[in-house]
Amino acid sequence: MIIEEKDLTLARCRALVEKKLNWGSSADWSAQDFERLSERIAAETGVSLSATTLKRVWGKVKYDSVPTQTTLNALAQFLGHDNWRLFCVSNLTLNGNGKGEHTDETPAAKIPQSSSFSLWKRRRTWLIGLMVIVAVSAVAVLFFNYLNAPIDSSQVRFSSRKVTDELPNSVVFEYSIGNLKTDSVTIQQSWDPRRRERISAHKGQHTSIYYYPGYFKAKLLVGDQIMQEHPVFIKTQGWKGIIEQTPLPMYLSSKEIALNGSSMEINAVTLREKTGLSVFNNVWTHFYLVNDVNRDADNFTFETVLQNTSAKEEAICQKVRIRILTSESAIGLPLCSKGCTSDASLFIGGTNVSGKDRDLSAFGCDFSKAQRLKCTVSNKVFTIFLNEKSIFTAPANENLGKIVGVVIGFEGAGKIESAAFL
């Protein structure tokens, strides 16, 4: 069986990732390990690769296609290379165990010394091969530098307008790249590189549908270079309940969520009727309030009283997640049953705190009763309170900009008694 070079390179990449993580053989990794790896890659590279994508790369999920360039570039960046191309030309080889290592032993050291002429001939062949590798590597680096040379952005124009105030919302992008000679032009709808759409270099208009509310930074790229970006603010008219699913979400009416001011819920009966499921593990309903809150994210208080009302048989970890959306980033707060805090993850601006390497047991809840959660930022200090008790404090060093909304999600059934910025 012939193993293609690209397969060997990907195998070397997997081996080096495993070596960096030091979690043991990937053959023994669980689904949670791939979730952890997804979080690590996002934290170190800014690129979000789903656990499913990573399982495909490691052969845990059957998939006949090759990984996308975005996936390969993110893995290369996780290993300290600028992109996949430069990783491919790095001076690592793959030994018989599938582990990447530097090679110090020349082929001549393994050749029987029965004939000096034969030895010289083989050394010459090895030297020629080495010269070819060096030449190809140099050309690859030069070509990479050519492709990534700075582009004059003064000719570039990029703007957008929404067509409605409802959900879903189509956005019309107007763009121009002037006299730039390229066919590689894309629009990225948000921070997520997976949400890129290839567009015509010269048509000047492109439309995209936004199914979820939020504060997105759309980007116009030529090649891999971001030429311009600007915010796309998709608002809600009051609270909006959405069951998240692929490819399209499921919107809930005010009656279905029993909306009354800032009180609302998704009960198990409604969730079963809408999804056809009786077990809700990884089935999420989010309640969105996205509008002009008009508060600075460096000085605010948010408080909510809520409860995951799923039975353990319906959603084993009874997870809740709260995201305070800002113009520059977000604050992500987790709650769950007490036995599941190892899978909890806290996000503050650009910093991710994982329950895998930090004790987040204070975020564990007894959901037989409602829980009062409060988040404050004051004097550059970020503090979380649960039932009036301080459970987490950290410096608020990053600029988060303005608060633009909040999202409260339940895995399975749940209710919100109140939620407000104070």
55-62's contacts with Cβ under 8 Å and 24+ in sequence apart are 55/31, 57/10, 57/14, 58/14, 58/26, 58/29, 58/34, 60/29, 60/34
Domains held by the chain: number: 4
Question: What is the DSSP track for 312-336?
Answer: TTTSTT--EEEEEEESS-EEEEEEE
| Residue from 133, 218, 132, 136 nearest 172 by CA | 218
**What predicted TM-score, i.e. pTM, was given to this entire model?**
0.65
Spell out the alpha helix ranges (H) of 210-332. Answer: 268-275
Q: Cα–Cα distance between 309 and 315 in angstroms, integer?
A: 9
The CA angle 221-42-396, to the nearest 5 degrees, is: 100
Q: What are phi and psi of 387, to 5 degrees?
A: 55, 50
Give yes or no: residues 130 and 160 share one domain. no
Give yes or no: residues 210 and 273 share one domain. no
Q: Which of 234, 265, 290 is the last residue of a domain?
A: 234
Place of tokens 């009727």: 273
| pLDDT tens by residue, the chain, 422 residues | 334 667 788 888 999 999 999 888 888 888 778 888 988 898 888 888 888 889 889 988 776 678 888 899 999 999 988 888 888 877 454 433 333 444 433 333 333 444 455 555 666 666 776 776 766 666 665 555 544 555 566 778 999 999 999 999 999 999 998 888 777 899 988 877 777 888 888 889 999 999 999 999 999 988 878 889 999 999 999 999 999 988 899 999 999 999 999 999 999 999 999 999 999 999 999 999 999 787 888 899 999 999 999 999 999 999 999 999 998 888 999 999 999 999 999 988 778 888 998 999 999 999 999 999 999 999 889 999 999 999 999 988 788 889 999 999 999 999 999 999 98
Q: What is the pLDDT of residue 160?
A: 94
Place of tokens 């609270």: 239
Give yes or no: residues 130 and 34 share one domain. no
Q: What is the pLDDT of residue 99?
A: 39
Q: Cα–Cα distance between 107 and 127 in angstroms, integer?
A: 10
Give yes or no: residues 336 and 396 share one domain. yes
Q: What is the pLDDT of residue 138?
A: 63
Q: Are 77 and 45 in contact (CB under 8 A)?
A: yes
Q: Cα–Cα distance between 256 and 249 in angstroms, integer?
A: 15
Give yes or no: residues 134 and 78 share one domain. no
Q: Which of 204, 219, 234 is the last residue of a domain?
A: 234
Q: What is the pLDDT of residue 51?
A: 84
Q: Which of 234, 258, 275 is the last residue of a domain?
A: 234
Give yes or no: residues 343 and 265 share one domain. yes
Q: What is the pLDDT of residue 150?
A: 53
Task: Measure Cα distances from 341 to 48, 318, 325 in Å.
Answer: 22, 11, 23
Q: What is the pLDDT of residue 87?
A: 86
Q: What is the pLDDT of residue 115?
A: 47
Q: What is the pLDDT of residue 104?
A: 39
Give yes or no: residues 341 and 380 share one domain. yes
Alpha carbon 88 to its chain centroid, in Å, reads 24
Q: What is the pLDDT of residue 389?
A: 96
Q: Cα–Cα distance between 101 and 182 in angstroms, integer?
A: 39
Rounded to 10 degrees, the C-alpha dihedral 165/206/151/75 comes to 80
Give yes or no: residues 84 and 115 share one domain. no
Residue type, 395: P
Domain membership of residue 164 as a residue range? 153-234
Q: What is the pLDDT of residue 64?
A: 67
Q: Cα–Cα distance between 396 and 349 in angstroms, integer?
A: 9
Give yes or no: residues 158 and 178 share one domain. yes
Q: Cα–Cα distance between 419 and 422 in angstroms, integer?
A: 9
Give yes or no: residues 111 and 167 share one domain. no
Give yes or no: residues 350 and 378 share one domain. yes
Give yes or no: residues 290 and 264 share one domain. yes
Q: Cα–Cα distance between 266 and 325 in angstroms, integer?
A: 22
**CATH number of 295's domain:** 2.60.120.200
